[in-house]
Chains A and B, each alone.
Chain A
Amino acid sequence: MSDITKQSLTELVENIKSKKLSSTDITKAFIERSEKSKDLNAYITEDFTSALDKAKKFDQKPNLNLKLPGIPMAVKDLFCTKDVKTTAGSKILNNFVPTYESTVTDNIWKEGGILLGKLNCDEFAMGSSNETSFFGNVQNPIDKDLVPGGSSGGSASAVAGQLTPITIGTDTGGSIRQPASFTGTVGLKPTYGSCSRYGIVAFASSLDQAGPMAQNVKDCALLQEVISSYDSKDSTSVDFERNQYSKELTNDIKGKKIGIPKEYRVDGMPKEIEDLWQKGIQYVKDCGAETIDISLPNTSYALPTYYIVAPAEASSNLARYDGVKYGFRAKGENLIDMYEKTRSEGFGAEVQRRIMIGTYVLSSGYYDAYYLKAQKVRKLIKNDFDEAYKKVDAILTPSTPSAAFKIGEKTNDPVSMYLNDIFTVPVNLAGLPGISIPAGHDSKGYPLGLQIIGKAFDEQNILNIAYAMEEKINFKNKITDWWIK
């Protein structure tokens, strides 16, 4: 079967269960394609030899009751993987080999998944274009020199380019949904507390969430079912009854009330995005749902709030990188000099910028004016959603204010880069689940996504809406394999 890598996760699982394909067949196919796809720069670390060994071992005694029986997959290099280098896209962790496994990846291996390797990402997940990675930028399979989005850019590129059937990313302000939108793939950011943060390199702890990325909604639902679990090792993990997301998936969304927030119609938004949104509204109506105009009045304050809260938490989380216990160490004349040089040489420009912002807003004399203020506005933003959910079951918005842009186009202007996350950031601030699905193309043929935002812990509902819309949209990703010589 030459077209193994074109199959969805659901098809691959069926083919393994019916013994039409072995784990070795599938693993070999994805390794071969990954090896031909080095120009995408999607991988930081390949673990192919070990993956093949594991696939062979699986085939000797296949357990077909597992949810991901012998399915190979690469994961974002922000998840600690035991004995496999984990860099977070940073020079400061370039030599870090974890002695423990993240809960989310552990859940995947327990269900039969096999690690292919670690995928490129923005350094410490700080970026919207994968250009801040110490390991270089990632190409978008859609077109040459186009960013794949970020921070889970390597993950999005690898799924769209069929280097892995599925993957996981992390989303602090849009890092799963924005790259999914830029690459014509599906990405879910679960409710805060749904997936354990244990073993994930921390960026902003009150916002970080792991989530699945896939070629379609059903695959995404299956992976979410595997990775979401209560975990006592994460103090903010929530113990709630989780759905069997893929089994309970239905396209019946008749009578659902979908909110359309007027504040998401931002100044200067391209007409293509507005048209896509209108198309989305028509699709949900065609599915028998009802749309209701709603207001989320504090939306425009979400990004400024995020750019206080996230850097503040990051400056605190990244204090641990001091060159003492692990990671890169620079030579210094004394202890303080060693710290300062290690962090100056080990962190890239964007990470240093955010540590500085965070340190400043938390520093004596500025805490109330910035950090406390931002926490109060965060409350207002969450209240907006609470109010809206008295009237609606979910909210439909564009995923991003534009399609993917060219590499280098926004690197010199941090604020214009930050504006990419304008529609995704409010969801993290309120801790809600959101999913981005591909819904159309712009005039250049680049994919555009729509976002469905749900109530807390209502992943099943937004997956169902996405599933119903997906059927109507019938999106086809235009992948020409331009990078394969």
Chain B
Amino acid sequence: MSIDLKTIKHISKLSRISVDEKKAEKLAGDLNSIFDFIEKLNELKTDNIEPLTSVAETTLKLRSDEVKSKNIREQIVKNSPQENEDYFVVPKVIE
């Protein structure tokens, strides 16, 4: 299979990573060599195999539904890239 520049542009949009022409070409080359390597899996027949989603063979533990972290607003916004005491600030989204 071959991943073309159009596909790279599509994945970059889904990934929310901007990609210019030069970078797209480099990525296409890299991804093609990686997928050539991954294609090896097609040698295996796996029709009746259950997919493994987790190696931890335990059932999730239940806990009581109670608030443990209170009044941590300051901690939560502390690392915010644009300073504002109470909110996260983003570029305007509504015209």
Q: Interface on A for B, CB 8 Å cutoff?
A: 95-97, 99-100, 192-193, 206, 232, 235-236, 238-239, 298, 300-301, 303-305, 307-308, 315, 319, 322-329, 332-341, 343-344, 347, 352-353, 355-357, 359-360, 363, 370, 372-380, 382, 413-415, 418, 429-431, 456
Contacts and interface: CB of A to CB of B under 8 A. Distances in A.
Contacts of A308: 38, 41
A338 B7 CA distance: 22
A363 B11 contact: yes
A339 B46 CA distance: 38
Contacts of A307: 34, 37-38
Instruction: Give 10 closest A-B pairs by Cβ, nearest first.
Output: A431-B55, A375-B51, A326-B79, A329-B81, A340-B18, A376-B46, A379-B52, A99-B75, A376-B49, A344-B18
A374 B53 contact: no
Interface string B12-26: 101111110000000
Contacts of A372: 51
Interface residues of B, number: 50
Contacts of A377: 41, 44, 46, 49
Given A232-B63, A301-B41, A304-B41, A96 B34 contact: no
B67 interface: no
A379 B50 contact: yes
A374 B41 contact: yes
Nearest to B19: A344
Given A236-B54, A307-B34, A341 B18 contact: yes
A355 B18 CA distance: 12
B61 A232 contact: yes
Given A193-B58, A344-B18, A353 B50 contact: no
Contacts, number: 164
A456 B93 CA distance: 50
A319 to B, nearest CB: 8
A323 B42 CA distance: 39
A243 B72 CA distance: 37
Contacts of B52: 375-376, 378-379, 382
A270 B48 CA distance: 38
Contacts of B11: 356, 359-360, 363
B15 A375 contact: no
B92 A334 contact: yes
A232 B8 CA distance: 40
B56 A359 contact: no
Contacts of B37: 303-304, 307, 415, 418
22 contacts: A97-B78, A99-B72, A100-B75, A193-B55, A232-B63, A236-B58, A238-B58, A304-B41, A322-B16, A325-B79, A326-B81, A338-B90, A338-B91, A340-B17, A344-B17, A356-B12, A356-B31, A357-B31, A376-B46, A380-B46, A415-B34, A431-B55
A24 B54 CA distance: 44
Contacts of B8: 356
